[in-house]
Structure 1
Amino acid sequence: MTSVLITGCSSGIGLETALAFARRGDRVHACVRDPESAGELLRRATAEGLTLDVPRLDVTDDASVAAAVGGVLERHGAIDVLVNNAGIDRTGAVETMPQDEARAVLETNLWGPLRTVRAVLPGMRARGSGVVVNVSSLAGRTFAVPHGGFYAASKAALGTLSEALSAEVAPFGIRVVCLEPGSYASRINREGTAGAAPSQPSAADPYAADLAWTARFLARVQEGAGDCGEVAEAVLSAVDDPGTPLHTPVGKDAETALQYLGTASYEQWLPLFLQQAQSLVGPRPGADGV
């Protein structure tokens, strides 16, 4: 029986991944930041007759990570697979996004996975085996859209560190995979630190109109988002298949975008992005905000 620890399991990709591992009989530690948010996960697990362990784990807190991982190791002796799924998104201009929100994105999406990786690696090294799956994003491999810089930066950094980590732990029999899903129907952009919703830009923010335009475009993209169960299946496949590439896109939109961007420059991409966005939500506001 494989012991799997997954972060961010209260909804979306994490929830579906926890259920997918449990269906095949693995020992699943479906971690959530707030135990009260696990209602849907537990309801669906009960309906299917599945057994789940639901530890509290806040990836932004050193003590919480240490306690959760330590508790799992004490009760079950091993963590064979780590799935770093917890993440948040925030849109805002590089100049004016509140500093605490910008830091929260990096703290959750980059330092969070690093905390859990550092917590589980000693045991994996001692056993000479293990798999780390970092759930990144297409945003980490493509050009950043306006007002999406901090999210894209966090995911790009996670992908780069996954490369170094993979080379470092391979001699110990440990594999690393960085999955890069396209658009999927999760709640990532509505949740934040302690469940807080993102703040809204003030009318005085010089980027407010442009941010609203970008938000409308992203909302339209989300209308066609895929089923998070597809990403869960990709996680299972990555764990089972030693030949899974370190960087693995998930979804047709991700595959198509990466094929195009293999030859495109930013200067070529930006006009196409703006053309597509404007076809969906109308003209982009000018420098005067109208």
Structure 2
Amino acid sequence: MTAVLITGCSSGIGLETALAFARRGDRVHACVREPARAEELLRRARAEDLTLDVPRLDVTDDASVTAAVTAVTDRHGPVDVLVNNAGIDHTGPAETMPLDQARTLMETNFWGPLRMARAVLPRMRARGTGVIVNVSSLAGRTFAVPHGGFYAASKAALGALSEALYAEVRPFGVRVVCLEPGSFASAIQRGSAAGAAAGRPSGSGPYTEDHAWLARFLTHVAEGAADCAEAAQAVVAAADDAGTPLHTPVGKDAEAALRFLAGVSYEQWLPRFLEQAESLAGPRPAPPGAPAAE
């Protein structure tokens, strides 16, 4: 029986991943930041007669991480597989997005996985075995879209950390994988669209209409997102297969995007992206005060 600890299990990829491991009979610790939000996970587990543990864990809080991992290991033994899935998304212009939101992105998407890795690695190293699966994003491997720079930066940073960690812990028998999902019907995918709309700069600032345009585009993208159960199977496969590449795209759109971007510069990519976005969200608004087209 494999002991699996997964963060961010209240919905989306984390929820589906917890169920996928539990179906195999693994000992699953499906962590959530807010226990009240675990109702759907527990309901589905009961419906399938699955057994899993649901600890409270906030990846942005050192004490919470230490307490949760200590409680899990003291009661059930060391963690064999860590799945760093918890993540959030905020969109906004680099110039005006509130810095507290930007910092929250990094705390959750970058520092959170690092906290978790540090919490489980001592025992993994001592035992000479273990797997850390970092659930990143296609956004960390591709060019950043307008108003998506902070999210992309957090995921690119996680990818770079995964590379260094891979090389550092491999001699101890610990394996690291960085999965990069494309568009999946997760809370973070839906939230990126809703958040772009809800978090638009108020008033008539220089980026207000452009941010609203991005929200319309993200809404269309979310409508065509794939089933999170597919991503969950990729997580399980990565945990099992020692031959899984460090950087592994997940989803047909992610694989296609990376093939397309091979050898393409940002200057070549941006007009194509804008053309696609405008086909879904309408013409991109002109900046305030820009001269009218003749």
TM-score, with normalisation over the residues of structure 2? 0.95
Distance 1:161 1:69 in 2: 21
String of CA shifts for 1:26-64, please: whole Å, max 9, x gaps: 000000000000000000000000001000000000000
C-alpha deviation, 1:204, in angstroms: 3.5
What are the residue-to-residue correspondences of 1:137-286 with 2, within 5 Å?
A: 137-188=137-188, 199-286=199-286
Q: Counterpart in 2 of 1:118?
A: 118
Identify unmatched segments of 5+ residues in structure 2: none
Matched, 1:55 2:50: no
For 1:71 and 1:60, locate their aligned partners in 2 and report how far apart those are by CA, in whole Å: 18
Q: Output the CA distance in 2 between the equivalents of 1:83 and 1:284.
A: 38
Residue 12 of structure 2 contacts residue 228 of structure 2 at CA under 8 Å; is this kept in 1?
yes
* 1:197-227 CA-partner distances (Å, limit 9, x unpaired): 9644211331010000011101101110000
Instruction: Give, in whole Å, the separation in 1 of the partners of 2:206 and 2:191.
Output: 25
Contact 2:200 2:212 in 1 (8 A): no
C-alpha spacing 1:123/1:28, structure 2 compared with 1 (3 Å): same
Q: Answer whether contact 2:2 2:81 (CA < 8 A) is retained.
A: yes
| Cα distance change, pair 249–289 in 1 and its aligned pair in 2 (3 A) | farther
8 Å contact kept, 2:81–2:131: yes
Contact 1:110/1:155, CA 8 A, preserved across alignment: yes
Query: Residues 69 and 120 of structure 1 are in contact (CA less than 8 Å); yes or no, is this contact kept in structure 2?
Result: yes
- Aligned match of 1:42: 42
Amino acid at match of 1:151: Y
Displacement after TM superposition at 1:117 (Å): 0.4
- CA separation of 1:191/1:273 partners in 2, compared to 1, >3 Å: closer, same or farther? closer
Q: How far off is 1:21 after superposition?
A: 0.2
Partner of 2:16: 16
RMSD, aligned α-carbons: 1.4
CA displacement, residues 71-124 of structure 1 (integer Å, 9 cap, x when unaligned)? 001001110000000000001000100111111101100000000000000010
Q: Provide the C-alpha distance between the structure 2 equivalents of 1:107 and 1:143, rounded to a whole number of angstroms.
A: 22
Amino acid in structure 2 at the alignment position of 1:263: G
**Distance change (3 Å), C-alpha of 1:121 and 1:202:** same
Q: How much identity, in percent, do the aligned residues show?
A: 75
TM-score by length of 1: 0.96
TM alignment of 1:67-146, pairs within 5 A: 67-146=67-146
CA distance, structure 2, for counterparts of residue 252 and residue 120 of structure 1 = 32
Give me the whole-angstrom Cα distance separating, in 1, the residues matched to 2:198 and 2:245.
34
Instruction: Tell me how far 1:190 sits from its aligned partner.
Output: 6.1
Question: Residues of 1 paired with 2:244 and 2:130: CA distance?
Answer: 14
| Aligned-partner Cα distance in 1 for 2:167–2:161 | 10
Question: CA, structure 1 residues 100+217, in 2 after alignment: closer, same or farther (shift >3 Å)?
Answer: same
CA distance in 2, matches of 1:14, 1:281: 30
Counterpart residue identity of residue 274, structure 2: L
- Post-superposition offset of 1:263: 1.3
Q: Distance in 1 between matches of 2:217 and 2:32?
A: 30
Matches within 5 A, 1:1-12: 1-12=1-12
- SS state of the match for residue 284, structure 2? coil
Do the aligned partners of 2:189 and 2:222 also contact (CA within 8 Å) in 1? Answer: no
Once the two structures are superposed, what CA deviation does each residue of 1:134-173 show, in whole Å capped at 9, x if it has no partner?
A: 0000000000000000000000000011000000000000
Conserved in 1, the CA contact under 8 Å of 2:92 and 2:200?
no
- 1:28 alignment counterpart: 28
Q: CA deviation at 1:233?
A: 0.2
| Distance apart, 1:189 and its partner CA | 5.3
Paired with 1:215 and 1:176, the residues of 2 have a C-alpha distance of 34
Distance across 2 between alignment mates of 1:85 and 1:49: 24
